[in-house]
A and B are shown apart, each in its own frame.
Chain A
């Protein structure tokens, strides 16, 4: 029993560093200019110092032109020493994820950022969270009851919920056509608990796709992608899964901008409504039976800001499964809504999730759920509404 308690506590302690982490980053914006953003605690070189940059199996030298503080970081701007080899140097930084910067006895590992916006398709990022989960409550009694100020319901069973979302993207089609608009992407999403009961969320997926990127149509559609994708969704605790082959489209809709309501200190500038949609063929497996047919899936994400210190991120998912011989237990249409509320106590550390509420069902879930997730930053809640820095 003690071991079961120790693991969640250790993961909770590690969560803040996973959510907010400074990295030393390098970018060669032009053939003769290399810039680094160094994190607090990293030794910064002095102006005039020569740096050796090891990347992509080669190395080249730069001379520091400026080194200035910038919002908690140090920005080091440097010029390539041998300008005659500048194009070769830029190639060394092309398509790699990390490099090493050396000066005196100091060695710094840096992440390499693509220089060309059209090549900004080499990326890998992830986030995860773990915390208590409440049992599903389809009739909504756990929301409010007679006392509107009552705290969120606690879970008597001690259920733990794990969420992970990771994305990987690489320019080209499986390593070919790397200097084109094509992109190969993969994703892994886990949202499950340690409980076998069907009242708890259990929605997990893995995907692999090829897309055209950087598509736009004025302010109706920007940063768009369109392509084909293969995706597997599976419940960990139940014998049910989907295998999809689909056409996909995604992007931003700038005309549906984010809004700030009831603010006295200036509006928040954030991404507008974003969406993703897919249409294609599905093989659905449930309790030993298989079904085939067309599927449509769409999700939208929208940011809203309130009272200078609160953000509400609204996410909606709509799924239509038009399967042949669909069993009565498999719904044709599924809807899932999620609202995440975060609080801005300190601009330097950003918004911290206070709580989230979700209702409905998505993916391979057969039963609608309605549940809270109480985040790790609940201790920062300022009920007076005047705190923060």
Chain B
């Protein structure tokens, strides 16, 4: 069995002992503050896009086609995601201006890339 002191056994040892729990721990990593922030940002994106009438975003590989979105909906999306992130104790700039430019430039953005880019804007 895996030790209870929080240390990990190696994957080889876990396999030798036929210990699935220890094997899972051996290949896992601890969630970082960055992961928590990205998870929060992803949840805010999912909830705000759905609230504005878009289909549910299931995975981070989904791609947003900004050019199909009306300007007033762009503002609602930007303000909604900013307010969602701010309500969770983070500082976030207004997102409607950069979202509007993604539309102006006709870009298609993978949700994972959007989350990563937003994580760099959000403090702490």
Contact = CB atoms under 8 A, between A and B. Distances in A.
A75 interface: yes
Contact of B107 (A71, A114, A223): A71
Nearest to A252: B53
Given A70-B120, A120-B75, A269-B63, A29 B82 contact: yes
A36 B121 CA distance: 13
A3 B95 CA distance: 46
Contact of A117 (B75, B97, B118): B75
A35 interface: yes
Given A21-B104, A265-B61, A254 B53 contact: yes
Nearest to A303: B68
A120 B52 contact: no
Given A73-B101, A258-B68, A349-B105, A269 B73 contact: no
B100 A37 contact: yes
Contacts of A117: 72, 75-76, 79
A311 B76 contact: no
B62 A266 contact: yes
A366 B108 CA distance: 39
Nearest to B108: A347
A364 interface: no
A181 B105 CA distance: 30
B5 interface: no
Interface residues of B, number: 50
Contacts of B67: 350-351
B54 A351 contact: no
Given A29-B82, A271-B54, A271-B69, A35 B105 contact: no
A117 B62 CA distance: 26
Contact of B70 (A219, A258, A271): A271
B96 interface: yes
B100 A25 contact: yes
Question: Which 7 A-B pairs rank lowest in CB-CB distance, beginning with the nearest?
Answer: A350-B106, A266-B61, A77-B93, A35-B94, A37-B97, A254-B53, A29-B94
24 contacts: A21-B105, A23-B101, A25-B98, A29-B82, A33-B94, A66-B121, A70-B117, A115-B79, A120-B72, A125-B71, A213-B72, A222-B52, A266-B63, A266-B110, A268-B65, A269-B49, A269-B57, A269-B65, A270-B65, A271-B54, A349-B106, A350-B105, A350-B106, A350-B107
Interface of B: 49, 52-55, 57-59, 61-73, 75-76, 78-79, 82, 93-98, 100-102, 104-111, 113-114, 117-118, 120-121, 123
Given A21-B104, A69-B120, A350-B66, 4 more contacts: A19-B106, A271-B53, A271-B69, A351-B108
